[in-house]
Amino acid sequence: MPVFEAHIEDVEQRALTGTLPAQQDVIRLMTQAYQRYRTLDEGVVADYIPILGRADPARFGLSLVGVNGFVHELGDTAVGFSIQSISKAFVFALVREALGHEKLHEVVGVNNTGLPFNSVIAIELNDGSPMNSMNNAGAIATTALIPGADAQQRWDDLVGGLSAFAGHPLEVDQEVYRSEAETNHRNQALGRLLQSYGRLAVDPAEVVDLYTRQCVLTVTSTDPATMGATLADGGVNPVTGERVVSAETCRDTLAVLASCGMYERSGEWLFEIGLPGKSGVSGGIVAVSPGKGALGSFSPPLDPAGNSVRGQRACAHLSRALGLNLFASARFDSTEGALA
Ligand code: GLU
């Protein structure tokens, strides 16, 4: 039984937001962050999915999309990469939108495991619960909840939803798909383990395949920025103007990203950067500032948890410089307005 019964949906929700700095300041500060970390040589490119090991470690793309539709891009923003775990955030949002506030909480969970993203022990320690939708087991359980008559319809809805977040049709990279499908024995085992605990209502092989395909959609760094900016904009894609999900879904998705989005470094990330974020093993990061916009980055070398090193540094820099940290406040200035 959850501690918070969450029967507060009848309370009208207000959002406190603020705005990004002026565009010329955003451009100047992003250039500063990009230049500072472009040549940083730390981290290791993932190769447990064989084809990812071929990525060029020098690549670095940095993008920002504001809720007003402003887009700024620096560096390798035209280089495509597989979205990998960043997809988990947006599939969570689609399932949350379809099934409501409580369902994912009940079936998957919203707490961090403190263990690696592909951990088997985490499931065993928690009575078969995958604990949250941002690790592999939880993402497989979340993808399994996508409504639909058959696998094809579920896939069409999944890819259609993620494409609406990005603002253009996303496509599977067949080469990455083959490399991943041939070697994802651990994910198949996670699917079977969830099944053994009665936590999957659909065929594990089918759902792991769907999950694998969601991970190999090709994006550039501007795509996660646009997708994140949609979550920052109450569910409306600020570039296309299309409503993709509700504001309530954005709130729930960002809460899960804040606690679980950056693998077992989610606490450190929140401590340093103060934003909901999600990263993927191909080197992408999205960091979302509710009501303001989102950063997207791509740089393949990763820290031991699986987070892009350059991307994290750039996000830390920009969270401070652009005033994005959710936990930062300044003393109330009574000359600027009254509280009454
Ligand atoms: N498709 C990858 C896997 O299942 C995603 C991992 C990640 O980006 O964290 O291992």
Is the Cβ atom of 260 under 6 angstroms away from ligand 1? Answer: no
Is the Cβ atom of 112 under 6 angstroms away from ligand 1? Answer: no
**Amino acid in position 147:** P
Give the distance (Å) from ligand 1 centre to CA of residue 232: 24
Question: Coil, strand, or helix at residue 299?
Answer: coil
Q: Where in the chain is the domain with CATH 3.40.710.10?
A: 5-84+218-327, 87-215
Is the Cβ atom of 307 under 6 angstroms away from ligand 1? Answer: no
Phi, psi values for residue 218, rounded to 5°: -85, 135
Pairing of strands 71-75, 293-298: unpaired
Q: Does residue 336 have a pLDDT over 80?
A: no
To the question of domain 5-84+218-327 being in CATH 3.40.50.720, the answer is no
Is the Cβ atom of 281 under 6 angstroms away from ligand 1? Answer: yes
pLDDT band at 337 (very low <50, low <70, confident <90, very high): low
State the pLDDT at residue 1: 47
Pairing of strands 293-298, 284-289: antiparallel
* 50-101 pLDDT per residue, tens: 999 999 999 999 999 999 999 999 999 999 999 999 999 999 999 999 999 9
Q: Does residue 338 have a pLDDT over 80?
A: no
pTM for the whole structure: 0.95
Q: Bridge partners of 289?
A: 293
For the structural domain made of 87-215, what CATH number should be given? 3.40.710.10
* 199-218 pLDDT per residue, tens: 998 999 999 999 999 999 99
- Taking CB atoms within 8 Å and a gap of at least 24, the contacts of 39-43 are 40/309, 40/310, 40/313, 41/301, 42/301, 42/303, 42/309, 43/301, 43/302, 43/303, 43/308, 43/309, 43/310
| 92 vs 101: CA distance, rounded Å | 11
Tokens of 215: 């991970």
Q: Answer whether 204's CB lies under 8 Å from 184's CB.
A: no
